Amino acid sequence: MSRTRVLAHARVRAAVVAAAMAALLTPLAACSSSGSATAPDSEGKPSADDRPVTVTVTPEGARVPAGEPVKVTASGGRLTSVTVTDDEGHKLAGKVAADGRSWVSDRKAVPGASYAVTAATRTEGGTAKSTRAAFSTAPAGKVNKVDWRPGAGATVGVAQPISLVFDNPVRNKAEVEKQLRITTSNDTEGSWGWIRDWSGRDRVDWRPKAYWKPRTKVTLNADLNGTDSGADGGWFVRDYTTTFTIGARQIVKVDLDSHRLTLERDGETVRRIPVSGGTPGGDKRSWRGTAVLMAKEGTINMNSETVGLRDAYDKMVDYSMRLTWSGMYAHAAPWNARYFGNSNQSSGCIGMSDANAAWFYGQVRPGDPFEITGKDTKGVVAPGNGFGAWNLSWSEWQQKSALR
């Protein structure tokens, strides 16, 4: 081989190596692509149908504000699939639009997370490519938490609402309510309503139009992670869920004028019990309207000073069943035995004998309604004083939704 040909081959190899090194040292763009090579036209340029697809991902950058869906768009071609995964391996679901030009996540980007985006595309000429991008969100400066009832797996009475109480104020009530989904086994009609809890905190309850049907299965999915409460409220940084079942149709009817409590189950009277309600004519009167049994608290200490009553008492009370946050209970009250069935002489609670209280305590469950009537009471149980939503008409309750 001649020296001229050897030198020529050496120059070709050097050119190839130089080109490869140049490719390796070229800086990576924000979005990188991989796939089939673009077909050139007769002049050595990409054909119009096979020009690269331009993919745009929003949000973009580092520590961007959370609370917005992830959006991916394509121009010069179509999206065939999009995958968005956070740093814990959780995926944001979404769907490519019918025209293939966009994809939007179903959920919002949450605070303090990093996301990797992979978009598969196809050019107008049919060439498949893959584009990758990444972004991160700023952490939450303030976090809002939720206390909810009833607990998971509970069996509750036919008047039990679903109740969420928030640690911090909720200004964006409509945005929060949109994230709350109720599923029932029999398509029960109901509505959310925003009220002020007895504690002074924001609260949202879901109650059916009428009492639940027995054996209904109920699930709450509160997909709140990534939702902003608004000014002074902070971010939600987790989701909440609970599933519970409705028990037998039990209704407790309390007639303060006749001093009788009646337990009805599935429309039949189970037992009538003589009771004594709150003393007429002052602060010791009982509430009227529908109260819902909140909890069976057993033997507890009752101190009238904690609810602002004069003539303070401080005693241990058995078979205590809470009806309101303001301190109305049904319970055993043997010290008032001479008044059962003939006079209201309690400090606002519904008292009965030890034997009747023990039996009654074993029959009822949280969520059972107490329908209380009487001429001399201190008013109707308010929606936030326990579970008093049943004292509003259906139309009045619906108006408390932030989405009306």
Active site amino acids: 331, 349
d(CA 343, CA 345): 6
β 162-166/114-123 pair status:
unpaired
Residue in 296, 184, 191 with CA at minimum distance from that of residue 246: 184
Which amino acid is residue 245, in one-letter code? T
Q: What value, to the nearest 5°, has the Cα angle with vertex 245 and ends 242 and 250?
A: 135
Cis peptide before 59 (omega within 30 of 0): yes
SS3 306: helix
Beta strands in 29-141 (DSSP E): 32-35, 54-58, 61-64, 69-75, 77-86, 91-92, 94-96, 102-108, 114-123, 128-137
Phi, psi of 357 (to 5 degrees): -65, -40
CA distance 326 to 344: 19
Rounded CA separation 123/54 (Å): 10
Q: What are the C-alpha distances in Å from 173 to residues 150, 207, 227, 233, 237? A: 21, 17, 11, 11, 16
- What is the Cα–Cα distance from 81 to 79, expressed in whole angstroms? 6
